[in-house]
Structure 1
Amino acid sequence: MASAHLEYIAAGGNRHPCAADWSEELLAYGSGHNIAIWRPENNNHKGVETLLAGHTEIVNAVKLFRDPTSKKRVLISGSADKTVCVWIEQNDASFELVKRLTEHTASINVIGLLPEAGVFATGAADATLKIWKLRVSENADVEADLIQNINLTPRYFPLAIALTKLQSGQLVIAVGGTTANIQIYLQDKDKDTSSLAAKLTGHEAWVRALDFTRESSKPDSDFLLASASQDKYIRLWRFHAGTELPEVAAAASDPAMTVFGRSLSNKAHWIGEGDSKHSITFEALLIGHEDWIYTARWFTKNVEDATPQLLSSSADNSLAMWERDADGFWTCATRLGEISAQKGSTTATGSTGGFWIGLWSPSGQTVVSLGRTGSWRMWSYDNKEDRWLRELGISGHVRSVKDVAWSNDGTQLMSTSSDQTTRLFSQWKQETAHTWHEMARPQIHGYDLNCLSAIGTTQFISGADEKLLRVFNKPKAIAQLLAKLGDTAEDAEDADLPDAANIPVLGLSNKAINALTAEEEAAAEPSEEVTITKSTLDLAHPPFEDHLARHTLFPELEKLYGHGYEISCVAASHDGSLVATACRASSLDHAVIRLYETKEWREIRPALTAHSLTVTCLSFSPDDKYLLSVGRDRQWALFARTEGTNYELAASNPKGHSRMILSCSWAPSSSSHIFATAGRDKNVKIWQVASGDNVNAECNLTIPTTAPATSVAFYTGSLAASNTIILAAGTEEGNIAISAISTNDWTLKEQYQMTKQMLPSSAINALRWRPSVNGEEKQAQLAVASEDLSVRIFAFEILPGA
């Protein structure tokens, strides 16, 4: 019986300040329409454990907590699909969707939470705030009742919500958003509903973050509210019980305390009556960030009289930790992130764009932040050195992944995406575990990337929404890093490779550069272009995000011209001597296949003609005797090699499928010339080439799929049973079926359907089986590129039909 498990998931985080939360050992974050679950402090660096699929649009808000009554772990998520989902943990890090709330009429932007009161609040772009009562029973039954709907006036969109409970038990809700004011709602006496009690003014731009904490562990201590804004400042507000004002902070009473000529107002606001009467006063203004502030989160140590610390993240590429010093002044105690003036060679490298999220670990010993490139950076506090040290985070694409390709030796996987990057993944082999990581970002482009193919062991070619293709060389620094971390020997070919690459200040072409020694760097003239020292990538671990964004580009070797529209597909021959490409087309003139030889990168003319619309997939047969093409015109075409590098049309089937054909693949060479095609007509067809004077192909088997088939891939390794070929087929809905086909009587021996929890939630764009590494193959591995932003690697202990 076939069995498989998910070995690796790479998925970037959504750029929304509310889209992540950390509770106990789990961090949950929005990744496209999904929610990724990750254990940041796991020592074996496994990365994302699972992706939860329940939303149909981008996830904007996530809250993770343990329900105090049932002791169950609960996840609440809000999305642009106007729904709020409640998930319950079934077993270790596996969550089940148990409730979907559809009361909002626009995108959910923020969720506020008070677990001990069983209350949460949701804010959406319909300019409403909804307050919910949540009840979770011990057998995981969930009830979520809408207590109140608040229409925010004057009309604004909520972007931040914070909740707390006063000593009297009354609920306080602070709301901020696309206005400069903060509204404070107080629960009415003996009722579940709340009314507007105060409006805090002072910020000069939208309020992006709000968070409550107690000033100390004493039960009667004051509350502090932190508010962070796009005006680059954080304001602290004190909630003090009683009819008397608190002792005015020294900073506020100092008449000299003005900011840019503007004095700080300290007007007291009063809320509540009787024993719930509180004053709200302005406590402090935190100045230090140079750009919009997205998040502000409190952390309080479980120590008597420990003062809380505040973590803020900003578009200025930094995290700041704020503490109150001995004199009572709030200062920035620690600053993490990119402090240097040099923000990367171009904005394309993604090292600018700011930190969108900053989170404390529950212990306060670790912090993480999410940047523009969808990657998580992590720092841990080292008690011996008394400083924060960089840790290994995780990364992934932030737009749909269009294609994946294994290197010919099977050691590296490359993926290309609409987020305009090509990424290289490889294994880090440690004594205790072998884990997958992003090891390089070979291409950071100005166009969405559509396809790629490996050429030999040191080159790859990619096509984007531009009229040319680009060929890249692996730099020596990356070859050495991969050999060191992957525990493999360096190739003799690697000695001739360039050291590294950068992008010129005004350009899109990665330029080869020489790495400098420390002495050469000290003597070098200052310049705007990025330089790299020999020690930069001499690492004992996979590269951090700063390295990936700047120092792991591949130098561009060649540009291939000839096409008139955006490139749609590319394939390299197995001997590495030829590259076949096609572009988007709506006429015969442009629906041609161009061949280029890889020695001098010249086009082999004439171009191959057979199709009338876009060619969607190209594939060379294992012996390079045939080139197969399929297209939107519903036909497949077979080109046979005549002499040298020339190909000519040998056979075609204008009615191969009844709808457009989206993918094709050749079976391994041991089973003569057999290929598969996948179509929008919900069929996968297996064809056998009958060679002779008149080349033709007959359809031997049709395998129906549940949705339009978008990708097929034949397994080419040695683990399949004799007289059996293994075919993976992916659909538009994200399903993957692995079929074992008997070549004796062309019947389906076994079909293995992967479980829903393992599968992508959107269309499969590419399937690629891993070639055997050094001739050894213990298990079959399948790489998957999906529309849901993820790159996945599945491992099969037993293949179907075995």
Structure 2
Amino acid sequence: MNSVIEDEYYAVGGNRHSAAADWSLASGLLAFGADQNVAIWSPLNNDSSRGISALLSGHTSKITTIKFISSKSGGSDELIVTGSADGEILLWQHGKTCWTHADKAAAHQGSVNTIAVLENSNMFVTGGADAKVKLWKVQDGTLETLSTLELKPKFMPLALALGPFQATSIDSAFLVVGGTRNEIQVYSIESLSSTPKYKLCATLTGHEAWVRSLALTAAPDGEFLLASAAQDKYVRLWRFQPGLAAAAATKVAPPVDPKHNSTINDALTAKVQSVSAADSKYSITFEALLLGHEDWVYSAAWSPNESNQRLLTASADGSLSIWESDPGSGIWVSVSRLGEISGQKGATTATGSSGGFWTGLWSPDGLMVTSLGRTGSWRLWQYNTDSQFWTQKHGISGHISSVNGICWSPDGGYLLSTSSDQTTRLHAEWKRGVKRTWHEFARPQIHGYDLNCIASTTPHQFSSGADEKLLRVFNEPKDIASMLHKLCQIGLPPNDEILPDTAAIPVLGLSNKTMDDAKDMEDGDAAEELDPGLANDGLGTSLPHLEEPPHEDLLSRHTLWPEHEKLYGHGYEISEAATPVDGRVLATACKASSIDHAVIRLYDTETWNEIKPPLPAHSLTVTRLAFSEQPGEFLLSVGRDRQFAVFQNSASGDVKSWTRVAINAKAHSRMILDGTWLRNARRPTFATAGRDKVVRIWGGALKDGRLEFSCQISIARKVSVTAISAAASGDTNLLALGEDDGAISLHLVKCTDEIELVKSGDINKHLCPSKTVNRLAWRPNKESSCDRDQGHLAIASSDSSVRIWKVDWRSWAES
């Protein structure tokens, strides 16, 4: 069954935890937490630009920390250890075809905050919200707890570092712990392999707030350098020297403010402390104080390139800094600053202009860095050795909350998705030669309400509904159309002049304005000046000239679509929207608990006037609206009141004339969550899916001049069916079902005078979402409106992911 499924695309944002990502030095893979899944990305694979290659499900809570474990034999024995907010840790190993979880253990009471690995060993430590640090060993694919350290005075560890002593064996190590105290504790651990014993040897003081990150690296002459990043906006460096220090006090170079190049004070006297185990000892001295960030410093990471000792820091001020020691003076200075260079970051946090970077990571060769921002997107910079500049490349992006709605453009050129993260995103296929990869190409809407549904009326227009009482209609701007035409070979409209200009969001506003409209605002709108961070600074005009998909800075600031209309009429939050193939009418519904509000409202998409009266049928929220394949002939509605209704357009094809022709008040025993039409040339046929774990296929027939629908087939499932979508080839329909636990199944249904279930099959769990499937949508077939051998299935889930599968369903049907 799975041989016919090719997972072409994953789009999901990263968790905003500074420890929830790691870049492997052995394999070059980057793993990060994406809700309760582990996303696998290969940033070094520039040839394919695939993006996320897999989403690993196994956790039942949000992932908070990730680390790779590599043995001396290299990447073939590589493992991943992940921790989550519910206190569990999972061990992952790579099998023949995919990653699987090898073992699971309950590690802490509360969140697992951090993991540190002892280099070239199978040991690691975890720190949890229960104020404990645990030492673990991986043995033959299983997790074994060796010992537990209770921190005193009690505090929550947020960062750990683990390093070996210089003895010939690795039976001893030192442990550095930072967290919800201003001090850093240094422990020695003896008898690692048998009965570990902890001893508090040193307490490093100096920070004035919680310590968020610790990074340890080997230095020449057997030394170690420790970087500690804290919420006091500073980074401190500590040197671990073998043996006793030559003197009780050491003069170190004074810290320098890199912005003003001024000395903070004349000199600092470093207190010498030590950590020892058996006959090995390290003397610890304060090395340097790094100033330059203007907000909390979330993470610190040392470059793996041993020829050049550099430190990467990520801060809530929206910047990455790369620090080096000056060869002459030994003073540590910021040699590169990436991200938000300007001090003016704009007035709206929706665009990612504030909130900063949660983590920064180095590539194995030290020539690339990546960072995770508040929007869940990964930015990627590559160092050019010739120009000696860092250049931003396209990274990966995705939603950071439940994806509630998806729809394809009418010509199948791109996919739109909406989410509770209050954004609408456009995903399209980047075509260059024979290569095809999916990417996010635009962020048409950045809103102030959670978005629930979306419907595409034309290839250059869509409407979305949110937790507000109105719908908003958006038109594609010229720059986006030109970019999609160049990179994705998506056609331009016949008359290019009808497309609007670039859009921007006014300060304190929710409506995307065209740049010209924003400048001409009068009366009450005059006070809403444009956010300076969103003004067209030249980057927006460069969109049609891009040679690759836009990176995060462009996506969040210069790919908005201007708002064309607002549609009023509903009394509560919008729940559903749908359009027929020709897009001449928009049907909408809102959340309701009474007959008065559970009506279906129709809008003429040429004039955007409401077609009155609204269509009554339900008494509770309408959960799904679906038009039949024949343009505007039938409209199906299903709802929480357990009934479906069918409306028919008048014979003249007037979009303003709709009549209810069928209703079934007891279609399911529990609420109906989705419905879709099936292709049947002989009679109207549709399917409904309900909370009662049953999918029913209904066939229509005329009786006494009236159209009546009766249940022809029932498909029983083990879990509630929450999403359903159908694709057709001839008289055969491929029905995709999504369930409450994330499972997806395919069913072949032959529709003639008799409706027959030909074949059913479940998709392997490792390809499916880990939470509820909210929506399924088959891509419209541009090449042929009748037959197909393959199809693209888009999947929206509560686990924050958007997935696109390529389904070779003809091969499956014939097997």
Q: Does 1:551 align with 2:552?
A: no
Partner residue of 1:73?
78
Q: Check conservation: 1:252, 1:283, Cα contact below 8 A.
A: no
Where structure 1 has 5 or more consecutive residues not aligned to the other structure, the ranges are 136-140, 517-524
Partner residue of 1:522?
none
Task: Write out aligned runs for 1:455-494 (5 A).
Answer: 455-494=457-496
Q: Check conservation: 2:505, 2:531, Cα contact below 8 A.
A: no
Q: Check conservation: 1:377, 1:393, Cα contact below 8 A.
A: yes
Partner residue of 2:567?
560
Q: Does 1:228 align with 2:239?
A: no
Moved more, 599-608 or 666-675: 666-675
Q: Check conservation: 1:224, 1:237, Cα contact below 8 A.
A: yes
Moved more, 655-664 or 564-573: 564-573
Task: Write out aligned runs for 1:9-88 (5 A).
Answer: 9-23=10-24, 24-43=27-46, 44-68=48-72, 71-88=76-93
Q: Check conservation: 1:468, 1:560, Cα contact below 8 A.
A: yes
Partner residue of 2:715?
703
* SS in structure 1 at match of 2:625: strand
Counterpart among 296, 299, 307 of residue 292 in structure 1 = 296
* SS in structure 2 at match of 1:13: coil
* SS in structure 2 at match of 1:399: coil
Partner residue of 2:522?
none
Identity of aligned residues (%): 47
Q: Check conservation: 1:682, 1:706, Cα contact below 8 A.
A: yes
Q: Does 1:310 align with 2:311?
A: yes
* SS in structure 2 at match of 1:266: strand
Distance 1:724 1:253, change over 3 A: closer
Q: Check conservation: 2:344, 2:533, Cα contact below 8 A.
A: no
Partner residue of 2:765?
756
For 2:533 and 2:322, how far apart are their aligned partners in 1? 32
Aligned AA (2:404) = K
For 2:409 and 2:234, how far apart are their aligned partners in 1? 49
Cα distance, 1:575 vs structure 2: 2.1
Task: Write out aligned runs for 1:318-333 (5 A).
Answer: 318-326=319-327, 327-333=329-335
For 1:344 and 1:485, how far apart are their aligned partners in 2? 30
Cα distance, 1:74 vs structure 2: 0.4
Counterpart among 493, 497, 512 of residue 499 in structure 2 = 497
Task: Write out aligned runs for 1:259-408 (5 A).
Answer: 264=268, 266-272=270-276, 275-302=279-306, 306-326=307-327, 327-344=329-346, 346-408=348-410
* SS in structure 1 at match of 2:556: helix
Partner residue of 1:618?
625
Distance 1:755 1:707, change over 3 A: same
For 1:651 and 1:592, how far apart are their aligned partners in 2? 16
Distance 1:736 1:231, change over 3 A: same
Q: Does 1:161 align with 2:172?
A: no
For 1:12 and 1:105, how far apart are their aligned partners in 2? 27
Distance 1:584 1:260, change over 3 A: farther
Aligned AA (2:695) = V
Partner residue of 1:789?
800
Q: Check conservation: 1:421, 1:443, Cα contact below 8 A.
A: yes
Partner residue of 1:676?
687
Q: Check conservation: 1:622, 1:669, Cα contact below 8 A.
A: no
Q: Check conservation: 2:789, 2:809, Cα contact below 8 A.
A: no
* SS in structure 1 at match of 2:482: helix
Cα distance, 1:235 vs structure 2: 0.2
For 1:273 and 1:49, how far apart are their aligned partners in 2? 43
Distance 1:261 1:253, change over 3 A: closer
For 2:533 and 2:159, how far apart are their aligned partners in 1? 40
Normalization by structure 2: what TM-score? 0.91
Q: Check conservation: 1:636, 1:653, Cα contact below 8 A.
A: yes
* SS in structure 1 at match of 2:714: strand
For 1:779 and 1:399, how far apart are their aligned partners in 2? 30
For 1:18 and 1:527, how far apart are their aligned partners in 2? 32
Cα distance, 1:133 vs structure 2: 2.2
Deviations 1:612-666 (A, max 9, x none): 1111001112221221110001000112223621223221101000010000111
Q: Check conservation: 1:476, 1:494, Cα contact below 8 A.
A: yes
Distance 1:236 1:18, change over 3 A: same
Partner residue of 1:648?
659
Q: Check conservation: 2:679, 2:751, Cα contact below 8 A.
A: no
Aligned AA (2:807) = F
Q: Does 1:687 align with 2:698?
A: yes
Q: Does 1:95 align with 2:99?
A: yes
Distance 1:235 1:733, change over 3 A: same
Cα distance, 1:529 vs structure 2: 6.6
Counterpart among 427, 433, 436 of residue 434 in structure 1 = 436
For 1:686 and 1:39, how far apart are their aligned partners in 2? 43
For 1:99 and 1:115, how far apart are their aligned partners in 2? 21
Partner residue of 1:142?
141
Cα distance, 1:590 vs structure 2: 1.3
Partner residue of 1:138?
none
Partner residue of 2:526?
none
Distance 1:723 1:188, change over 3 A: closer
For 1:8 and 1:158, how far apart are their aligned partners in 2? 36
Partner residue of 1:779?
790
Cα distance, 1:295 vs structure 2: 0.7
Partner residue of 1:729?
737
Partner residue of 2:595?
588
Aligned AA (1:704) = A
Question: How many residue pairs end up in the alignment?
Answer: 776
Cα distance, 1:20 vs structure 2: 0.5
Aligned AA (1:194) = Y
For 1:325 and 1:164, how far apart are their aligned partners in 2? 26
For 1:756 and 1:496, how far apart are their aligned partners in 2? 46
Partner residue of 1:521?
none
For 1:351 and 1:527, how far apart are their aligned partners in 2? 11
Deviations 1:370-404 (A, max 9, x none): 11111111111111212211122111111011111
Distance 1:22 1:300, change over 3 A: closer
RMSD: 2.3
Q: Check conservation: 2:506, 2:531, Cα contact below 8 A.
A: no
Cα distance, 1:696 vs structure 2: 1.4
For 2:277 and 2:737, how far apart are their aligned partners in 1? 67
Cα distance, 1:502 vs structure 2: 0.5
Normalization by structure 1: what TM-score? 0.93
Distance 1:210 1:10, change over 3 A: same
Aligned AA (1:193) = K
For 1:322 and 1:529, how far apart are their aligned partners in 2? 27
For 2:16 and 2:144, how far apart are their aligned partners in 1? 30
Cα distance, 1:490 vs structure 2: 2.0
Partner residue of 1:605?
612
For 1:560 and 1:251, how far apart are their aligned partners in 2? 65
* SS in structure 2 at match of 1:272: strand
Partner residue of 1:519?
none
Moved more, 507-516 or 359-368: 507-516
For 1:261 and 1:633, how far apart are their aligned partners in 2? 73
For 1:558 and 1:526, how far apart are their aligned partners in 2? 20
Q: Check conservation: 2:160, 2:213, Cα contact below 8 A.
A: yes
* SS in structure 1 at match of 2:250: coil
Aligned AA (2:764) = T
For 1:245 and 1:441, how far apart are their aligned partners in 2? 59
For 2:50 and 2:299, how far apart are their aligned partners in 1? 27
Counterpart among 776, 787, 793 of residue 767 in structure 1 = 776
Distance 1:414 1:526, change over 3 A: closer
Partner residue of 1:569?
576
Cα distance, 1:249 vs structure 2: 4.5
Partner residue of 2:541?
535
For 2:403 and 2:277, how far apart are their aligned partners in 1? 57
Q: Check conservation: 2:250, 2:270, Cα contact below 8 A.
A: no
Q: Check conservation: 2:255, 2:289, Cα contact below 8 A.
A: no
Counterpart among 117, 132, 135 of residue 131 in structure 1 = 135
Deviations 1:178-204 (A, max 9, x none): 111111111147852212111111101
Cα distance, 1:531 vs structure 2: 2.7
